[in-house]
Amino acid sequence: AAVTKALKRVVKTVLSIEQSEGQGARVRRSIGTYNLRNLDPFLMLDEFKVGGRAGFPDHPHRGFETVTYMLDGTFEHEDFEGHRGKIGPGDLQWMTAGKGIVHAEMPLGSTVATGLQLWVNLPSSAKMMPPRYQELPKEQVPDAKSDDGKVTVKVIAGSSYGVEAKVHTVTPIYYLDISMQPNATFDQEIPAGYTAFAYTLAGNAAFGSQPSEPHCTLVFSKEGDHIQATTAEGSARFVIIAGEPIGERIVQHGPFVMNTELEIRQAIMDYQLGRNGFEKAPVWESEIGK
């Protein structure tokens, strides 16, 4: 018999307002605010806006991944192993911090840079893995389209309309950047049981019967196996982020995310004393964060 697809329903909507973060940076925090916790495996989603001398100077990470997706402007990044790079509009940096990274993330020159940074938790088995980068210029973030051509999807992770992302994820993750023309319908399979949400960037797409406005997080039910969005007379842009829950205990202390308080104390000591993956932390200073 034909398997009827069940729509995931919207269970919560939250509007994000700007707050200060880093050094002079402004972010609209979606996941990670009081109303949007416990969305395992996702720890934080920031829509950031950074100009001039502002940015995110030297700081550490352990136990999770940071996914930086540029919307406009150009960011420079530099880490304590001397790894440096630039990411511009549409470019993606999927950084698996694992055992430990210390880096700075700053706008190039005095441009205003905007984008999204998503923090994805790692399973305990991978939290102390060697750090790794997957840096994809926009040309390597594949485009998918609906049959009528009214919906374009940049497939950052997972798959959409039969197009697979290039990025490898430790646990199953979907990360889709969807642009819809007026009078369009977007339809996406997301397995039942997955955590799933939309974060709106522009326009007023409706998710099922739920209307939306920009800078809104719409959390979907775990029940159901696909998401649908429609546009009326206006166009719309939003991301869909979904993933299989890891189901382990989360103990977070800022940019350290582990499973026990002891592991957090060890992360803080390793970072301060330069041990266990943070050897260069005590002596390193970035060029770009000065």
> Interface with ligand FJE by CB under 6 A: which residues?
21-22, 27, 46, 48, 56, 59, 68, 105, 117, 254-255
**CA distances for 50 relative to 72, 110, 169, 229, angstroms:** 10, 9, 28, 30
Q: Is the CB of 134 or the CB of 228 nearer to ligand FJE?
A: 134
Structure tokens at 202: 């522009």
**Alpha-carbon span 271 to 286, nearest angstrom:** 16
**Which residues, in sequence order, are CB contacts of 140 under 8 Å at separation 6+?**
166
Smallest distance from ligand FJE to CB 21, Å: 4
Smallest distance from ligand FJE to CB 154, Å: 19
Q: Are the C-beta atoms of residues 220 and 208 closer than 8 Å to each other? A: no
Smallest distance from ligand FJE to CB 105, Å: 4
Sheet arrangement for strand 75-79:
56-61, 101-107, 75-79, 84-87
Q: Is the CB of 56 or the CB of 220 nearer to ligand FJE?
A: 56
Smallest distance from ligand FJE to CB 157, Å: 18
Q: Is the CB of 22 or the CB of 98 nearer to ligand FJE?
A: 22
Q: Is the CB of 102 or the CB of 151 nearer to ligand FJE?
A: 102
Smallest distance from ligand FJE to CB 203, Å: 23
Smallest distance from ligand FJE to CB 95, Å: 10
Q: Is the CB of 22 or the CB of 63 nearer to ligand FJE?
A: 22
Smallest distance from ligand FJE to CB 32, Å: 9
Q: Is the CB of 58 or the CB of 263 nearer to ligand FJE?
A: 58
User: Which DSSP string corresponds to 224-269?
Assistant: SSEEEEE-SSS-EEEEEEEE----S--EEETTEEESSHHHHHHHHH
Structure tokens at 236: 């719309």
Smallest distance from ligand FJE to CB 55, Å: 8
**CA distances for 288 relative to 27, 84, 134, 276, angstroms:** 20, 9, 21, 25
**Which residues, in sequence order, are CB contacts of 68 under 8 Å at separation 6+?**
75, 77, 87, 92, 93, 95, 105, 115, 116, 117
Q: Is the CB of 27 or the CB of 170 nearer to ligand FJE?
A: 27
Q: Is the CB of 65 or the CB of 105 nearer to ligand FJE?
A: 105
Q: How many CB atoms lie within 10 A of CB 37?
A: 13
Residue with tokens 């499973």: 259
Structure tokens at 205: 């797409």
